[in-house]
Amino acid sequence: MREFFTDCLRTVRNISIPDVIDILCVTVLLYFIIIFLKDRRAGRLVIGIVFLIILKAISDFFGMYVMQFILQNVFRVGLIIIAIIFQPELRSALEKVGGQPLKGIRSIGKRTDDNDVVITSVTDAAADLSETRTGALIVIERGTKLGDMVLTGTVIDAEPSSSLIRNIFYDKAPLHDGALIIRKGRLYAAGCLLPLSTNADIIQDLGTRHRAAIGMSENSDAVVVVVSEETGIISMAVDGVLHRGYGKSSLRAVLEKCLKNGTNASREQKNGKKNVKDGKGGVKE
């Protein structure tokens, strides 16, 4: 034990100013990488990479030669694979290097769970928009971060209210054509562009909003509420499945199950009319 402390003291004494600067630079770099990936879907891919690294360490420790051979070949082309997978995120990061100051400190201790307010605001707004047949597309972020989608819209970061949601989707408003993303109990960004579903089983009667809702739910665990501009029908997409025919009370009930209890809407569907062809996003009347 004495030798250990002696070695530690010797190491500390040998640390120079360039070493301290080096450590600080690496710390800041890692901080920005973590913050950047935390806010994007690519963060899930990092977990897979970490898993492969742990698997490599285990195979080295136990002498698992076949696994070592496979992982060594995977890691040889790993940088190229990472560059391809993270291409949108890497491009965005390089374009914004030094463009934003450190953020997030002001959010420490802030409440992040305002599901009751969000549910009330969304259900009230959806019911009002349904009556006037005003189209709307509302995305409620859950585990998968939607930073890539936020970048396509305008950040508003406002307290949730049904009146503000109605104003956003007012047909003369500049942001009414895009999607509203709700994050951590706040109306975070509006006018956002969502990926359209490429599922060939979706019926042709569905418009762009519904296809975008299904596409977003296929690519994330978000809950997406849609109000049809033609019919006023309220729909909801979860896990690539579209449910239609909600009223104010039934929408509130299923949102409470999804957001408060983390329940899959496709399993707890009772009041909404479930129009599913094959469980992959296709719907039929």
Same domain, 161 and 231: yes
Query: Which pTM was predicted?
Result: 0.61
pLDDT of residue 109 exceeding 50, the answer is: no
For the chain, the domain total comes to 2
Q: Is 255 exposed, middle or buried (0-12, 13-18, 19+ CB in 10 A)?
A: buried
Question: Is residue 201 in some structural domain?
Answer: yes
Same domain, 234 and 177: yes
Same domain, 150 and 241: yes
Question: Is residue 280 in some structural domain?
Answer: no
Question: Is residue 281 in some structural domain?
Answer: no
pLDDT at residue number 105: 39
- Calpha distance 238→268 (Å, rounded): 12
* Of 47, 223, 281, 43, nearest in space to 148 by CA: 43
pLDDT at residue number 212: 93
Same domain, 69 and 159: no
pLDDT at residue number 38: 65
Max mean pLDDT among 14-23, 202-211, 228-237 falls in 228-237
pLDDT tens profile 237-251: 998 899 999 999 999
Same domain, 225 and 121: yes
Looking at 88, 106, 124, the residue that finishes a domain is 106
- Considering only residues 129 and 267, tell me which one the structure prediction assigns the higher pLDDT: 129
Looking at 58, 82, 106, the residue that finishes a domain is 106
Question: Is residue 46 in some structural domain?
Answer: yes
Question: Is residue 164 in some structural domain?
Answer: yes
**In Å, what is the CA distance from 213 to each residue of 17, 96, 192?**
54, 29, 12
Domain extent for 53: 2-106
**For 132-207, where are the alpha helices, taking DSSP H only?**
147-150, 162-168
Question: Is residue 282 in some structural domain?
Answer: no
